[in-house]
Homo-oligomer: A and B are copies of this chain.
C-alpha cells in the first residue's frame, strides 16, 4: 500500500521521546511562601510522617538528558514534593478558608471541594470554610451573590454529583475588588479551582495580596477538560471525560458496523489539544482516524482524508473517525475570526462540516454510505467523576490544603511523574500543553489506527 507516510517533516534536534509534553529548557520551580512556618501541625497528634521542603521530585526522566545537563554543569530541575509539613504557617484556630470554582465544568470538581473541606476540618481543625458562588463573580459585591458555608455535612455526598455545588462563571473580575472581598471575609487561604485564565488571576491576586502587605495563601488546583495545562501530567476529570468519549465512540462503532458502508463520526472536546481524542482512540482500538488540532490533515488529494476513507470503506465496509473540536479549523473558520466574551476564538463546527462533507463526497461518487454523527458535547464533562478521578481529586484537594497551611502561595498542586508536587503558577502559565507529535503517546495512536499522515505534500 502506497499511502502517505507519517514521517517527521523536519529534523528533530535533541529529541527526547521520554518527554511526553515537550518541556522547555528552563522552568521556574521555586514556590513562593508567605513566611516562615512556625506552628506545629495539628496533624502531629496522629502521625509524624511529614514532608520537608527539601524533598524534591525530578522533572525529567531521561537518563541521557540528565547526563547532558550534569555534563554542562547544571543541576537537574525538580519540583517541591507535596504533603503535610511539620510546621505550618496559619494558626488553625484563627484561619479561614475559601474555595472558588471558575470556568467550564469538569468531572470531579465536587470531589476536590469535598477533599479540601474534609482536610481542613478533620485534619487541621479549621472551623470555617466558605464557598464563593459562581466563580470570581462571587467576590464582587455588584453581583450580590451570598457565600456558602462549607461544612463536612454539606459536602459529604457531593462527590456523587457532577458539576460544582458552588456554580462557576467565566471571565476576569477586578483584582482589587477580589482582594477587598478577601479582606472583608477574612480569608487566609483561597483555593482556586480553574484553568489557565484563573491561574493568571490567581497570580495577580497573590501579587496584590503581597503589595498590600497581607498574608493570604493562594493555591490553585488545575482544572481543564482538555488536559492542556502545562506541567500537569493529566488534569482531573480527564479520565472520566475519556470514558464518556469512549461511550460515544463505542456507539459510533456499533452504528458503523450495523449498516453497509457505515461511517461513525464522533466529535469530542479539545479546543487546542487533542488529548481526549487521542486517549480514547488508544483505549478502544477501534478508531480508524483520529484528528486533532496539533496534526493538520488534507481533505482532498490522493493522501487526503476523503480518498483514504473511500479506500477504507472499500476494503472493510465501515470506518470510525474521532475528531477533536479544534481540529481542521482551516476548513471551518471564516477570514474574520470571532471571539467570545472571554476572548476565546469561536471555533467552527468541524463535526458538522465533516458529516456533510462525507455525505456529499460519497453521494457525488454514487457510493451508498451512512454517516452516523455523534457529538456528546457536555455529557463528557458534566458527569460525576469515576473512581480514578475521585482518588486523584481527593489527593489534589488534600495536598492543596497541606500547601496552603504551610504558607505556600501563587502555586498550583500538580501531578508529575506520578507524584504530587508544588508548581509555581508563573511556570504553569508559561504556555499551554499540546499533544507532542513526537511522543510515544501520539505514536501509539498512529500505531493502533494505522492512519497515514493524511497529507499530500
Contact = CB atoms under 8 A, between A and B. Distances in A.
Given A258-B168, A387-B283, A452-B46, A418 B417 contact: yes
A137 B405 CA distance: 44
Nearest to A440: B83
A448 interface: yes
B239 A388 contact: yes
A447 interface: yes
Given A163-B258, A378-B372, A57 B48 contact: no
A64 B55 contact: yes
Interface string A23-42: 00000000000000000000
A164 B258 CA distance: 6
Nearest to A114: B285
Contacts of A17: 49, 51, 55, 81, 83
Contacts of A251: 162, 378-379, 381-383
Interface string A216-249: 0000000000000000010000010011001110
A397 B388 CA distance: 21
Contacts of A159: 284-285
Contact of A233 (B76, B123, B280, B418): B418
A118 B285 contact: yes
A438 B259 contact: no
A40 to B, nearest CB: 14
Interface string A45-70: 11111010011111001111010001
Nearest to A393: B283
B169 A259 contact: yes
Contact of A6 (B7, B47, B134, B382): B47
B51 A61 contact: no
B62 A57 contact: yes
A88 interface: no
A99 interface: no
Interface in A402-457: 417-420, 438, 440, 443-444, 446-448, 450, 452
Contacts of A83: 17, 440, 443
A70 B69 CA distance: 13
A148 interface: no
Contacts of A233: 418
B63 A394 contact: no
A103 B446 CA distance: 33
A279 B391 CA distance: 7
20 contacts: A8-B48, A43-B447, A46-B452, A54-B64, A58-B63, A66-B76, A115-B285, A156-B286, A162-B254, A167-B257, A242-B388, A242-B391, A243-B387, A248-B379, A251-B382, A280-B387, A373-B377, A375-B377, A398-B444, A398-B447
Q: Which 7 A-B pairs have the closest CB atoms?
A: A251-B382, A283-B391, A163-B254, A6-B47, A56-B63, A63-B78, A162-B254
Interface of A: 1, 3, 5-8, 17-18, 43, 45-49, 51, 54-58, 61-64, 66, 70, 76, 78, 81-84, 105, 114-115, 118-119, 122-123, 134, 137, 156-157, 159-164, 167-169, 233, 239, 242-243, 246-248, 250-252, 254-255, 257-260, 279-280, 282-286, 372-379, 381-383, 386-388, 390-391, 394-395, 398, 417-420, 438, 440, 443-444, 446-448, 450, 452
